[in-house]
Amino acid sequence: MRRQALGAIGGAGALTLPWIVTYLTGMAHGLSTGTVVLVSGLSVLGASFLLAWGAETAEKDVPRAFAIAVLAVLAVAPEYAVDALYAWNAGVFAGTERGVEAGNLAVANMTGANRILIGIGWAGIALFTVFRSGSDSDSAVVNRDGFLADAVSLDRDIGLEIVFLFLATLWAFLVPFNGGIDILDMAFLVGLYVAYIAVVLKGDVDADEAHVGVPAYLQQFPKPQRAITVLTLFGYSGLMIFTAVEPFAHGLEQLGQNVGIPSFFMIQWIAPLASESPELIVVVYLVNKARSTAGFNALISSKLNQWTLLIGTLVVVYSIALGQYGALPFDQKQSGEIWLTAAQSFFAISLLVNFEISVREAIVLLVLFLTQVLSEFLLIRGILELPISDYQLLLVFTGIYLVLGLALFVARRKALGSILHQSAGTVTDAFSSGADQPRGAD
């Protein structure tokens, strides 16, 4: 086991070495766009495996939900970096056309990232889990008779994350009415995530779960050495992802622009797709190890921190760049993007309140996402002619998501009531003195 584990760690680390040399020597400026994309992309791949191994190893010493939350924050750190750059430029150039455009790009990049995480992440991983080779050995896969009736069963302890995400989603519908992302949004959304972390830290360390490969080897270390190893893996992989994803994303943007894809469309969709790649790689790795519940937990945790921390901190970055407090402004089109993103989240949560997602549901989630993106692209390019504007198209899809979500919540009202009651009990237990019940206990 030792030789195989060290070989795997060495192999993942080797994938990051070309980027380290390129980054430290400044060679990236002299390389072609395709080469930069390749080298930085390999680094993201290697760092994603190191990140996943660190999180799995940490589960021996901290509550699994907290380990996954740390994993999620590190994996989506590149998205924070890219979005913060646009928010900063919006503050620096406030009052100018460039500043207005930067503010719109900050919101567009944020909404694109969130919709990709659900439309491709949640839907794609559910389908991959069911249809991958060897899925019969995965206890999370529920086989049922009927057309596309197989489903992925979720860990019921994820109910807490679903409820916090539900609260953040309801708040997001209100954000456009204030004319920008302001201090109230920051207070509520960041406060919500801080409260969530406080609750999961009160949880018990989960019973040992059988791990294989690198995590199994690292968990044999004495606790102090194990803690140092986990922190090293987190720190190194986080640094690699943070430095490599921006040139990876911008390289992809440039390649797309070279073939005629509009810049705004690239920034909303291609850049977030690149910055979300570490998270998707990590989840595919977990699912492929028949740890589908851990993989889905990571995706839901990522959505929660992006839908709270990412939105809430944009106003902080903007205000610092501005030199005084100010709400991050955006135009009517971006209001529609926020409403659509919130509606998609609303519908996705309605799918999970019964702690499973079927193949049919995953396909609907994926098709709705792809249809909206493709329709908007064709409309912008003038290929598709509709009697409505691109803003009105956003509102149409917002309505579709809301109608479907409301119908499911009504049909699953008992499951919704149960998950709310269970989560309320978990929060109460976590903050009451002398509480000793594990997360998820009634």
User: What local confidence, expressed as pLDDT, does residue 177 receive?
Assistant: 92
Is residue 219's pLDDT more than 80? yes
Q: Which residue has the tokens 């991983």?
A: 125
Is residue 403's pLDDT more than 90? yes
Residue 199 located in a structural domain: yes
Residue 442 located in a structural domain: no
Is residue 135's pLDDT more than 70? no
Residue 69, judged by CB atoms within 10 A of its CB (0-12, 13-18, 19+), counts as buried
Is residue 1's pLDDT more than 80? no
Q: How confident is the model at residue 238 (pLDDT cuts 50, 70, 90)?
A: confident
Q: What gap in Å lies between CA 280 and CA 128, rounded to an integer?
A: 12
Q: 357: domain range? A: 2-431
pLDDT in tens, 255-311: 877 877 777 787 788 778 776 776 677 777 777 766 667 777 778 888 888 889 889
How much is the pTM? 0.81
Residue 408 located in a structural domain: yes
pLDDT in tens, 301-348: 888 888 898 898 899 999 999 999 999 999 999 999 999 999 999 999
Which residue, 237, 243, 194, 239, is CA-closest to 82?
243
Is residue 439's pLDDT more than 60? no
Residue 7 located in a structural domain: yes
Is residue 247's pLDDT more than 90? no
CATH code assigned at 188: 1.20.1420.30
Which residue, 44, 42, 53, 124, is CA-closest to 76?
44
Residue 441 located in a structural domain: no
Residue 243 located in a structural domain: yes
User: What local confidence, expressed as pLDDT, does residue 72 receive?
Assistant: 64
Lowest mean pLDDT among 183-187, 200-204, 299-303, 426-430: 200-204
Lowest mean pLDDT among 11-15, 82-86, 334-338: 82-86
User: What local confidence, expressed as pLDDT, does residue 266 receive?
Assistant: 78
Q: What gap in Å lies between CA 351 and CA 347, rounded to an integer?
A: 7
Residue 439 located in a structural domain: no
Q: Which residue has the tokens 């901290």?
A: 62
Residue 60 located in a structural domain: yes
Q: How many domains does the chain have?
A: 1
